[in-house]
Every structure is written in structure tokens, then in C-alpha cells.
Chain A
């Protein structure tokens, strides 16, 4: 009858949207787990998520967006400084110290490791090492950025639950 089929289709659409949401959340959780498993992120990222609350529901994404902006500036700065001859290792180290700090504060594990390596090359006055490490660091940064953009996109779709779980 008319009202029965209406109720049926309503329950069905409610059921399927609930299933979609549950599916999305599982997807987000598994993506997050893999970011940790693959070493892109560390515990500090969880610290950021734990700071999210009703007053600041997008805190992590906001801080990561600031990180992108700051990083672009620092990378550009590094590029310019790497073009000078002879290399100013002190200046390079100072810039990279900043970048390492920000990366560490958001839990960007691989990027942070590359920054550390770069600084070691600076201390040793190894120009070739610096250049190689800089290229590698840019790759890691680009990879992380891409993954995080996907992650936040999925997280927004899935809804506000299931943020600060601790990965296994």
C-alpha cells in the first residue's frame, strides 16, 4: 500500500546512508592507520587531533594548512639559498631548523627525518649531500601533502566521529 512503501523506501535510504557513513568512517580509519604504518605520521599528529573540540572542530586541518603555507615559504627560501656560490651552510641550517621544527610539531615523520639528514650535511659542509637531501625532502613533503589532502577530504565526508583513535 502507499504508506507502507513510503516507509519502506525511507527506512531503506536511512539504512543505506548509515551504511555509507559507517563505510566512510572505516575508510578514514584505515587510511589513517596506513599513514602511521608507512611512517608518514607519528604520535604528534594524534596530539593535534586530541586538541580538536567543539570550539575548534577543524583545528588539525587548520594547523596543517598553516604548515603548507609556511613550508612553501621555507622551501622557496632554501631553493634560493642553494643557488648561491659558495653555499652558506649556516643560513641553510637555520632555515632547515625552522622547517624541521614545524614538521615535527605536526607529526610529519619522514619529512622531519629528511630535515635532520640535510642538517647533518650542512654541519659537514657537504654541498652535494645537501642538494640530494633537499630533493628527497621535497619529494617526501609532496607525498605527505597529497596523502593528507586525501585524508582530510575523506574525514570531512565521513563526519566528525572517529578522529583521535590511537593506531595499533
Chain B
């Protein structure tokens, strides 16, 4: 599959998006992982922002720990996390030259318009209310796969 020369995006195979799911809550991590797998995605999970950045190869070492073979096609992150929030993670991704094209989806249990707007303004693809449902994830992955094709 040919990739545009300006982008690092090559999907491993046309219909298997690789999603990085970030959430400090164990139950929510399990749930989002299952929801994504049910939508035929490959999933990597991270407990916090710094770990997510590490997996994306955005830490000072600059090494993409996923070896250039399994690039992430979507990041889905919780907003409220101790240390680095989902918003801060979003910013770091959008500020990077390598990863700024990756769609980032923010999840939150709280429906706060200023929070939602802030994230969308910073370039978030979508804001999803928790608890996550299968229909939310299906909608998301359909969008993602349409974009890629």
C-alpha cells in the first residue's frame, strides 16, 4: 500500500487499525480494549500520558519503541489522569512533527462544554462521553478506516 511521502502512516494491512488506548483506570482500560478488539482493531494500552508518549516514540530518546512496523493509527485517551492529563497528552502529540497527524480522541465521564471545546480546539478528533459503548467505538473506527482509505 503506497503511503504519501509526507507522512509516516502505513497501515500494516488495510483493515486493522492500531489503536493506543490511554487510561489510568484499570476497568476502563479493559473495557476500551475489548470494545476496540470487537471492532477489529489491534490495541496497545497505556496507564498514563508519559507511558503513552514513550510508546509513540515521543520521549527525549526519540526511539519509536514499536519498531516502525506497527504505527499507531489512533490514540484514544481519558481526560482526567493524574500527572499528565489527556489534554496535555493531546497537546504533546499535536506539537510533534512525527505524530501530529494521528487522530486523538478524548474520553471523559464529565460533560463539561469548556473542556470539550478546549480539546477540540487543540485538535482532538472527537470527544466521547464515558462510559463507553460499542456504538461509540464502531462509529469511531468506521470514521478512521474511511479516512485511511
Interface residues of A (CB under 8 A from B): 44, 47-48, 50-51, 53, 56, 59, 63, 66-67, 70, 94, 97-98, 100-102, 104-107
Given contacts A50-B134, A97-B80, A100-B109, contact A105 B28 (CB under 8 A): yes
Q: How far is the CB of B64 from chain A (nearest CB, A)?
A: 30
Q: How far is the CB of B26 from chain A (nearest CB, A)?
A: 6
Question: Chain B 29-49, CB within 8 Å of chain A: the 1/0 string?
Answer: 011001100100000000000
> Is the CB–CB distance between B131 and A44 below 8 Å?
yes
- B130 at the A interface (CB under 8 A): yes
Query: Within 8 Å CB of A56, what residues of B?
Result: 34
> Is the CB–CB distance between A66 and B25 below 8 Å?
no
Query: Within 8 Å CB of B134, what residues of A?
Result: 47, 50-51
Interface residues on chain B, number (Cβ under 8 Å)? 18
> Is the CB–CB distance between A70 and B131 below 8 Å?
no
> Is the CB–CB distance between B34 and A59 below 8 Å?
yes
Enumerate the 8 nearest inter-chain pairs by beta-carbon distance, A residue then B residue, closest first. Answer: A102-B27, A105-B131, A44-B131, A104-B131, A105-B27, A51-B34, A101-B25, A47-B133
